[in-house]
Structure formats: C-alpha cells, structure tokens
Amino acid sequence: MKTALTTLPGGLRVATCEMPHAETAAAGVWAGVGGRHEPARLSGISHFIEHMLFKGTSRRSARKIMEEIEGVGGDLNAFTSEERTCYYGAVASEFFPRLCDVLCDLYMNPRFAAGDIERERGVIGEEILMYRDEPSSHVQELLNQNFWPAHPLGRSLTGTLETIESMGREEFLGYRKTHYHSRSTVFTAAGRVRHEEVVDRVAAMLEGLPKGKTLKTAPVPPPPRGLRVAAEARDTQQTQIAIGFPCTSSHDPARFAVHLLHILLGGNASSRLFQQLRERRGLCYSVSTHPNPFADTGMFNISLGLEARNVVKSLRLIRAEIERIKRTPPGAAEFRRAKEYAIGSSRMSLERTSSQNMRAGASVLTYGEIVNFEEVHAKLRAVPAAEVCEVASKLLDFEQATVAIVGPSPNQSMVTSILG
C-alpha cells in the first residue's frame, strides 16, 4: 500500500493510495465547500448543487451517468457536509478510466437545465420534509440550531423550503464558479491504480477549472454559560434526546484523547452508556456518542431514543457516567480494549478501497496531506488514561451544554433540573 500526493500548477491536488492486491478501484472529486460557507439566503445551495451535478452534462443524460457506472456493477454517489462536498464512486479496477471520466464530466460540465432545477427543487423539498418527519434526524437539527445559533453551522445542510424555492440558475452558476475551483478541488483514487497515470488523466480532464481564492468561514463565537434546552412536542412513541458539548477541532492535539473518550462512553456495544442504559436496565434500544470535529471547533454529541417514562432515569445515569469518567481514569483492561477497538476498526476499514479513498480526500482537505494512519494509531496508543479524565472534565461541562428533546410532552424544566 503506497500513498502519494501531487499538487498541479493551478492548485488542483491529486491524492492516491495504490493497493495492487485490490480487485476494485474507488475515486472521488472533492470540493472544499459546504454548508458553513453559505450565506443565510442561500442556505442549502451546496447540497442543491450536489444534486444538480447528477442531472446531466453536455455529453451524458442523468440516466446515462448512472448507467455507465451501475452497468458494470459499480456505485456512484455524493454527499455534502459542513466543510466539503464529495462526488465518489467505485468499480472493478478495469473500469477505473470510465469512473474517472464520468466523475470529471459531471464535475466540469453540469447543464443546470431549467426543467431539471424545478424537478430537483421538488425532490429536495421532499428530502427536507422527510428529515423533519424523522424524530431521530430532526432532534439533531434542533440541537445544531441551538448549539450554534445565528451561525452557518447551526443551519440544515438541505436548507429550508423557503431558501431552496428562491434559488435560480444564476445563483447556482455563480456559486459554483466561485467555490468549485482548482485550489478547492482534490481528486482522490484508491485501489489498483498508479499515481502517475491518475495524475496525467485527471490533469487533462480537470484542466478547465478556474483558479480561485481560499474560502473563508465565519468564526465560531464561544458558547454562552448555562445549560440550554430546546424541546419540541411530537406525537411519537419515543422521545429522542441529543446532548451537545463544545469539543475539540480537527487540529487540536487532544483529539486523540477525545476519540478514546467517545469509545469508552458510547462508541460501541461494550461502552459504558450502552451497558448501563440498554444492557443492564433495558431503558433504550440505542445510545451512542459522536465527536463532530471541524476546522476550528467541534461538538461532542450524545444521542438516544427511549420511552418518555425512562427519560429521567436515563439522564441521571448519563450524568453519573460523565461525572465518573471525569473523576476516575479508566482501568487498564478497559482502556486497552478502547485503544484496540479504535485501532482495529481503523485497520479493518482501510482494507477497503472506498475507505482509503475517503480517508485521502478528508485528510488532504483537512490537513493538506495524506495522514499516515500508523502515526495516528501510535498517537492513540500513547494517550495516558489520565488525559481522558482531563478532556472529559474540560469538555463535558453541562454549564456549556445544549440539549434537544423531541417527543410527547417534553419537560424542559425537568431536563434542566437533572443536568443543570
């Protein structure tokens, strides 16, 4: 397995992971733009553009784009996040040139036809309503809105029905021209590929990208003191709860300790919260933690869904487990298991070409290089147990927390009395 990164004269970066043993090849075109780069009036435009790039080019119809990849057993998809947009696919290795051609074509030559825009406006509207109707998804958006109020990170990546209705072809063309340029673009490939060949192929296909400027983002203000609780009544069988704490950024040296804290508290089925709430007491079906790091900030998220009658007991148990890990370092055996889980799951994922492709793109956009995963594993192994207590004490402070709760008759004052 060999990784390489080349920066072309215009600023376009090409990152590869050569895996000669692989039978497949994965590729991605990444733009360093996402929801947090959008002005409020264009909220959701990055996601809308992601959809539109699959609607046809000067060479291919929307159906032809998918048929060329699915017709050889491959996959083609995309996602938009807060800080990046990615168009990616995977095929048997002999069809890798075709995958490159399709990805570069849709990235470079989207039609943005008026009829396609109107149809996709309806599709995205249905997507917005779908997430709104799913309490487990909606509670996360409610958390974000109140965790980052009046900031782009607090807005939904899909936008609102009002903002997507207001967007026209000129807005799409202008936004794409400003944000999809050579300096913001990374092409990645992993599998049975050769770096030099990928660079030559991509340089020709993406040579028309304009040269742009580095994108700026609005700074994130410090969170106000005091527990914040946002509640929304829903006629549902379960109550969905999401708790957010300010957390480390992608560049903070403490991020390795935070990752281990996540595994210890709610990262798998042997974690403390899962064992306490589900296995020992049967209070919920699922409970989990999720660190969400960004370039300059982050959130540590605790999520669970359960019957309303179990909310009080569960919140008290969550608070007790957080206070316990602040006071007492994990035991040697538990801490060893957490480290081996983090490293083992990483190694297993990196056997897949699609995972290596994702790792390369996220790494280059975040750190400007392909991070050596063995170095990451070494840093995880080097974290002392006491540091987990330190980051827990610093970050898991309910005086800086935000809680979102969606369900039948949510009781904000009750939540505040338990966690505040």
What local confidence, expressed as pLDDT, does residue 216 receive?
81
* Cα–Cα–Cα angle for 357, 361, 367, rounded to 5 degrees: 135
pTM: 0.95
What local confidence, expressed as pLDDT, does residue 181 receive?
95
CA dihedral 164, 167, 169, 175 (to 10 degrees): -100
Active site residue 50: yes
Delimit the CATH 3.30.830.10 region(s) of the chain: 2-205, 228-419
- One-letter amino acid identity for 362? A
Question: DSSP state, 277?
Answer: I
Catalytic residue among 18, 38, 50, 82: 50
What local confidence, expressed as pLDDT, does residue 214 receive?
80
Whether domain 2-205 has CATH 3.30.830.10: the reply is yes
What local confidence, expressed as pLDDT, does residue 217 receive?
85
| Average pLDDT along the chain, 420 residues, taken 10 residues at a time | 95 97 97 96 98 96 97 98 98 98 97 97 97 96 96 97 96 94 97 97 94 84 90 94 97 98 98 98 96 97 96 97 97 98 95 96 97 96 98 97 94 88
Q: Fold for domain 228-419?
A: Cytochrome Bc1 Complex; Chain A, domain 1 (3.30.830)
What three-state secondary structure class fits 314?
A: helix
What local confidence, expressed as pLDDT, does residue 224 receive?
83
What CA–CA distance (Å, rounded) separates 230 from 352? 40
Identify whether the C-beta of residue 66 lies closer than 8 Å to the C-beta of residue 56.
Answer: no
What CA–CA distance (Å, rounded) separates 38 from 155? 10
What local confidence, expressed as pLDDT, does residue 146 receive?
96
